[in-house]
Amino acid sequence: MARSQNYDQNAHQAQMRILRALLMDSSKSFSDLQKATELSSDHANFHIKKLIDAGFVEHIKKEYGKYQLTHAGKEYANRMDTDEIVIEKQPKLSIVILLLNKQGKKLCQERLKQPYFGYWSHPTGKIRWGEEVLEAAARELMEETGLTATLAVRGIEHRIDHDHDGNLLEDKYFFIIDGTNPQGDMLEVTDGVRNFWVDIDTYNSHGKTFGMRNVHKRVHDRADAVFMENTFAFDPKDY
């Protein structure tokens, strides 16, 4: 059975109409779903089977000809704009790690992959389905650097990237992770990044960084949680 996160976001319009019909009721008959698609019986049946194969729709046991959404189908269909009948694109959810060593230098990465190829950044990573925030941070830190550290959530940054014409390139929410007491032998190069320690002033003055500069100061100068919302402009070729 296919998982919902692997399903085509731009599904056939007939399948989107089937999902919408089932989203708005506990169950629907075949004739109801055919009517929603505005297609022939054979064509409507084809698209229903596609959704069943994807794990989004199922027959109701002991109710011949009745269909309902599966749990995965509900999860997927709930992202739908029911007026436009399209799946809405949503911001990504990630962590960003601000790690200092005993010499007061920060852990930095030079990206050797797209997007932001050649840019300096703090270590970042996606939060996996069902993963706790600090669990994600510890996993990403180990995978990308070989290090462990004392980690704590210090805030959230909403980061919006666009090109110089105002077109949206990226929309992310980052949990800001404060890291201290790094342990282990750091990996110099891992998949797509080069790791190194750098003093904060050198990082802040570097020409190609992504994300906020002086973020360490903004986080450490406050005892309470931090929320930041920032917009950045980039050349599309960096994407």
Cα angle, residue 123 at apex, residues 90 and 98 outer, rounded to 5°: 105
> Residue 164 — very low, low, confident or very high, per pLDDT cuts 50/70/90?
confident
Q: Can you read off the two tokens belonging to residue 224?
A: 């309470």
> Residue 165 — very low, low, confident or very high, per pLDDT cuts 50/70/90?
confident
Q: What would the mean pLDDT of 172-186 be, rounded to a whole number? A: 95
Which amino acid is residue 163, in one-letter code? D
> Residue 217 — very low, low, confident or very high, per pLDDT cuts 50/70/90?
low
Q: Where in the chain is the domain with CATH 1.10.10.10?
A: 4-87
Ramachandran bin of 55, using left for φ above 0, alpha for ψ from -120 to 50, beta for the remaining angles:
left
The pLDDT value given to residue 235: 76
Q: Residue 30 burial (CB < 10 Å; 0-12/13-18/19+)? A: middle
The pLDDT value given to residue 45: 94
Residues 6+ apart with CB under 8 A from 37: 14, 17, 18, 43, 44, 47
Cα angle, residue 74 at apex, residues 69 and 77 outer, rounded to 5°: 105
* 92-238: CATH topology: Nucleoside Triphosphate Pyrophosphohydrolase (3.90.79)
The pLDDT value given to residue 170: 85
Lowest mean pLDDT, pick from 24-28, 66-70, 141-145, 212-216? 212-216
Give the model confidence (pLDDT) of 50-99 as tens digits.
999 999 999 998 777 899 999 999 988 888 888 888 888 889 999 999 99
The pLDDT value given to residue 5: 43
The pLDDT value given to residue 3: 40
Q: Where in the chain is the domain with CATH 3.90.79.10?
A: 92-238
Round the average pLDDT of the chain to a whole number and report it: 87
- CA distances from residue 146 to 98, 133, 182 in whole angstroms, order as listed: 16, 19, 10
Distance CA 134, CA 125 (A): 12
Give the model confidence (pLDDT) of 94-111 as tens digits.
999 999 999 999 999 998
- Three-class DSSP category at 51: helix
CATH number of 4-87: 1.10.10.10
The pLDDT value given to residue 212: 61
The pLDDT value given to residue 219: 66
Cβ atoms 212, 228 nearer than 8 A: yes
How many percent of the chain have pLDDT more than 70?
A: 89
